[in-house]
Amino acid sequence: MPIQKSIFDFEPVQTFLKVLGKDIEQYFGAEKGALVYLKPDGVWYAEALYQWLKGKKKDITISSMEDDGTDLEEGKVRDRKVLIVVNESFTGKAHKRSTEAMRARKGHLNIKAIKFAAYRDRPGTADFAVDQYSAEMIWRKGDIDALDLKIIKLLEQDGRSSLSSIAGKTNLSSVAVKNRVERLLGRKILKVQGALNMDRFYSFVAHLHIEADDEAIHNLIERLEKFQEVYQMVRMVGGVKLLVCILVQNLENVDEFIEREIRPVSRVKDIRVEIGELPVLPKTFAPKI
């Protein structure tokens, strides 16, 4: 006779609760809450959340609807904070339609707040998501998982975060966070370093488009990579062979850099310069000592 599994035995459900459970619990706080899953595939995560929150003595209801609000049991959301739950959001359409449908009822049902949760959120519109990813994921799931990503995001926001602080935000122990960080560092997936804010030291950027033969490009890269003001170098295909991006305090610094560091390299054929504001991204640079 097959053993009947609990909903909590399924790995995606475990991950959903581990990554998002605490944040969702904080969202509801002491208020009455309502889980509304979008048919058909939001039911697993909504049901798991419902049981998990009931176990924490939360006043919570569960119901379902189509993404346009059809079939909503309005009595179950009246006077409550609402969380709409879906498995995957690919285009953002479900998020837009369902939240608009709920907002249209907010006044006469006295809905306190409306948020949206998804396991996977391609467009980045969900308030809570395990995976927020672009159309082409740059990581392999064997290398990094949702909890790794959350730890990395927390370190990105505050590199001084303690292991205990990160543990409290990820529902992991401090030892588990330490082990994950050490694994990411050891596999060269994660690098932790200090960085300086560009706008505290520089005012402009210059992009130097350089035409030169292969030997000259090799010599330029070796020569320029040690300079503090060089924050990016890219080998190019076509007439321009190397793009060098530098940070400067004033426009005179651009000419000075070119004359001092680039023109002395033999077989440089042409240099084209574009001047711009400081980058939108990145906003920081690593010091070179």
Q: Which of 209, 228, 229 is nearest to 217 (CA)?
A: 209
Q: How many Cα atoms are found within 13 Å in the side-chain-facing hemisphere of 31?
A: 21
Burial class of 7 by CB neighbour count within 10 A (0 to 12, 13 to 18, 19+): middle
Burial 220-244 (b: 16+ CB within 10 A, else e): beeebeeeebbbebeeeeeebbbeb
- Evaluate the CA torsion angle 77, 83, 87, 89 in order and state its sign: positive
For 245, other C-beta atoms within 10 Å of its C-beta total 17
Identify the pLDDT of residue 134: 47
Identify the pLDDT of residue 136: 42
Identify the pLDDT of residue 262: 97
**Could you give the domains of the chain?**
7-138 (3.40.50.2020), 140-192 (1.10.10.10), 196-285 (3.30.70.920)
User: How far is 121 from 288, CA to CA, in rounded Å?
Assistant: 38
Q: Which residues share a beta bridge with 246?
A: 206, 230
Q: Which of 227, 206, 231, 207 is nearest to 282 (CA)?
A: 231
Q: Which of 7, 68, 76 is nearest to 36 (CA)?
A: 76
Q: CB–CB of 243/209 below 8 Å?
A: yes
| Consecutive 10-residue averages of pLDDT for the chain (289 residues) | 66 91 96 92 90 96 94 96 92 90 96 94 86 53 76 88 92 92 90 89 97 95 96 90 97 97 96 96 87
User: How far is 268 from 219, CA to CA, in rounded Å?
Assistant: 10
